[in-house]
Each structure stands twice: as structure tokens, then as C-alpha cells.
Amino acid sequence: MSTNKSFSTETAERYSRALFEVSKESSELDKTENDIKIFQTILNSSFEIKNFTKDPTLSNKQQEKVINLLAEKLQFSKNLKNFFLLLVEKRRIFFIQKISESFLKLCSKKRGEIKASLISSKELSEIELAKISKDLSDSMGSILKFDYEVDKDLIGGLKLQLGSFMIDTSIKSKLKKFEQAMLEN
């Protein structure tokens, strides 16, 4: 795996670490994390806000006005508002999506959570998902948070991805292995 990171990824990580440290020092980490989650929801659902963050033709004054309005309406912590204003001043507001994602990863890591992806062939109930999460968390010794989706093409079974580690118990995968074995003979 390559350790080379793009400029935008490195920049986003540096800014997110700075926000993380400032929020932690001022005991506002939980509030800032919640505010970032709210902002991300709005960013992902609002065409106007997404364009605002990507539009290089807007002046600093226009961007500051929007940030101040958002901060007031959404009751952002003072640190987050000032951080967004710093991004505007440094002309880095277009990194906000990557910075937000990186910040949330830092918060998750601080709590000892591990991110994973779970794909099943059929819809699992909340109870089944909670049991899978608890069992995996117990065996890993860390809190496991996963993104869940249903893929009917799996026919049966599950796929679990933890970083670069993949567990594939799907029937589709087993059929592919049988097919490969038959082709080799």
C-alpha cells in the first residue's frame, strides 16, 4: 500500500487535526463533532451549500457572510465558526468536505471505534445488526461501527470489510471459487 498522500488529503488532515486539538483543549469536542455531522448532512443535501464551498469566484466577504449566517442558524460552537472563517481567509473552504470526514475519523479513533463495511444478501433487523456489532466488537476489543447495505446479488451470506481485511461468506463468492476450480481442472 502506498504511503503517498495527495496534497488535498494531507492538507485536509492537517486542518482537521488542528480543529480536533483546539476543540479538545476547549472541551468542545463533542459539540464540534455534532456540529460537523449536521454541517455534513446539509452539505450533502444542499446544492447551494455544495456550490458555495466549491465556487472560487466568491469573495472572502461573501463567504464570511454565509459562514456567519450558517453558524448563527445552526448554533455552531465558537471554535467551529472561527475555524470555518479561517478556511475562508486562507482560501481553503473547498477542502471542507475532506476536512470534515477526516475530523470525524479522528473523533471515532479517539473513542476506540473501528470503521467497517457490512454487506448482506438480505435485510437484517436492528437486533441482528446490534448482535453482529457486539460480537465483532467483543472479538476485536474495540467498538466496531459499520456502514450497512443489502446486495441481493450475493444470493446468501455476508461480506465484512475492516480496512484491507475482507471476510466473504457469500454464496456468490463460493460459486466463483467452484467455477474457478472447475476451469483449472
Check which CATH number belongs to the domain holding 72 and give it.
Answer: 1.10.520.20
- pLDDT of 21 reads 92
Could you tell me which residue, 17 or 148, shows the higher pLDDT? 17
pLDDT of 144 strictly over 70: yes
- pLDDT of 84 reads 92
Whether 132 and 56 map to the same domain: the answer is no
pLDDT of 1 strictly over 60: no
* Chain-centroid distance, C-alpha 66: 24
Handedness of CA 58, 52, 108, 32 (dihedral sign): positive
pLDDT band, residue 170 (cuts 50/70/90): confident
SS3 26: coil
- Distant-in-sequence, close-in-space partners of 141: CB < 8 Å, separation ≥ 6: none
Q: Calculate what percentage of the chain has a pLDDT beyond 70.
A: 94
Whether 46 and 117 map to the same domain: the answer is no
Task: Determine how many CB atoms are found less than 10 A away from the CB of residue 46.
Answer: 11
Whether 90 and 119 map to the same domain: the answer is no
d(CA 159, CA 50): 33
d(CA 169, CA 40): 34
Question: Is 1 part of any domain?
Answer: no
**Residue that terminates a domain, selected from 84, 109, 134:** 109
Whether 103 and 135 map to the same domain: the answer is no
Whether 95 and 53 map to the same domain: the answer is yes
Mean pLDDT across the chain, nearest whole number? Answer: 83
Q: What is the pLDDT of residues 37-54, one digit of tens each?
A: 999 998 888 888 888 888
Ordered alpha helix ranges (H), the chain: 7-25, 29-45, 47-54, 60-74, 78-89, 96-110, 126-140, 171-184
The CA-based dihedral angle spanning residues 131, 134, 140, 145, taken in that order and rounded to the nearest 10 degrees: 100
Domain containing 88: what range? 7-109
Whether 101 and 16 map to the same domain: the answer is yes
- pLDDT of 9 reads 79
- pLDDT of 94 reads 86
Could you tell me which residue, 19 or 136, shows the higher pLDDT? 19
Whether 146 and 96 map to the same domain: the answer is no
Whether 90 and 21 map to the same domain: the answer is yes
Query: Number of folded domains in the chain?
Result: 2
Q: Residue 71 is which amino acid?
A: A
Lookup: cell for 18: 488542528
pLDDT band, residue 2 (cuts 50/70/90): very low
Q: What is the pLDDT of residues 71-127, one digit of tens each?
A: 898 899 888 999 999 999 988 888 888 999 888 888 888 877 777 788 888 888 889
Lookup: cell for 137: 466488537
**Selection from 84, 114, 86 nearest residue 100 by Cα:** 84
pLDDT band, residue 185 (cuts 50/70/90): low
pLDDT of 7 strictly over 80: no
**Residue that terminates a domain, selected from 109, 126, 157:** 109
**Edge-first strand listing for the sheet containing 113-120:** 143-150, 113-120, 158-162, 165-168
Whether 63 and 118 map to the same domain: the answer is no
- pLDDT of 61 reads 92
